[in-house]
Amino acid sequence: MVVVTGQSKVSATPDDAMSSSDAEDDFQEPATPTATQAGQALPLLPQQFPEVVPLNVGGMFFTTRLSTLRRYEDTMLAAMFSGRHYIPTDAEGRYFIDRDGTYFGDILNFLRSGDLPPRERVRSVYKEAQYYSIGPLLDNLEDIQPLKGEKVRQAFLGLMPYYKEHLERIIEIAKLRAMQRKARFAKLKVCVFKEEMPITPYECPHFNSLRFERSESETKLFEHHCEVDVSFGPWEAVADVYDLLHCIVTDLSARGITVDHQCIGVCDKHLINHYYCKRPIYEFKITWW
């Protein structure tokens, strides 16, 4: 076999013959290093930042000191501007962060002097503090309204079995009924009861006392599911039925759902002897547009 390179010809005997692919490998011109190869051969130097840092956060411009961005070591901003990571710049040389900058000024104000946002922006700034992992700001925001009250509310809702699942069921049922009827709104029945045992006109027990006064076999006689779409309860807390109704309406409204409710009576299911269910039934009206 004869391998031709340029103008020269080289004869090869069978013993030292090589394939064309081997020859191409041996005589191939050195290729331009790829970005990966270049990175391995020439590691990038740590990025240097000026003492006064111009920022472009989602199209909004800010200027701050480098020490402000590095105020707390365990935050995303401190890591981004530590020099270990590359931060791109825009056409004007500002360091670019691909994040909505609406509340970034509140983040900077806390890093600068510990200032907290006004109440109407607390929830939004809290989300930004979560994104940037600013633990001290999260701790401060959780200790003021409305987040402090929300922690108390969630502690109560933690006693409610399947609360979130029941909310989803309300939304799903209302959506299906409105679509089936081609209607602007849909109605459904919701039972909200605090005591596990029913209250009858013939007895008005103390909180959950019936459960302890009757045997297990007697208790089963009072087990009952009201004929409603969704039931909430029972629970053991000072908060009452109206408090839970407020939570339901608040959480549905937070999802952009318009809801009205009213008590339309009680469950009249006969259980045993002179005992009837008597749990309150509420009509929920979900308006879709």
Query: Is 97 inside a domain boundary?
Result: yes
Question: In this structure, are residues 279 and 191 in contact, taking their beta carbons and an 8 Å threshold?
Answer: yes
**Euclidean distance between CA atoms 219 and 233, whole angstroms:** 17
Q: Please report where in the chains the tokens 């401190």 appear, as a residue.
A: 78
Query: Is 274 inside a domain boundary?
Result: yes
Query: Is 42 inside a domain boundary?
Result: no
pLDDT in tens, 140-198: 999 999 999 999 999 999 988 899 999 999 999 999 999 999 999 999 999 998 876 55
Identify whether 117 is preceded by a cis peptide bond (ω within 30 of 0).
Answer: no
Same domain, 166 and 135: no
SS3 percent helix, strand, coil of the chain, rounded to 5, is: 40, 20, 40
**Euclidean distance between CA atoms 161 and 233, whole angstroms:** 7
Indicate yes or no: pTM above 0.95: no
pLDDT above 70 covers what percent of the chain? 72
Q: How many CA atoms lie within 13 A of 268 on its CB side?
A: 2
Full domain range(s) for residue 281: 158-203+224-287
pLDDT in tens, 42-100: 445 568 999 999 999 999 999 999 999 999 999 999 999 999 989 999 999 999 999 99
Residue 30, pLDDT score: 43
Same domain, 66 and 185: no
Same domain, 167 and 283: yes
Q: Specify the length of the chain in residues.
A: 289
Query: Is 79 inside a domain boundary?
Result: yes
Exposed / middle / buried, residue 39 (Cβ in 10 Å: 0-12, 13-18, 19+): exposed
pLDDT in tens, 258-272: 999 999 998 877 666
Nearest residue to 231 (alpha-carbon basis) of 282, 186, 265: 282
Nearest residue to 279 (alpha-carbon basis) of 217, 239, 213, 230: 230
Query: Is 244 inside a domain boundary?
Result: yes
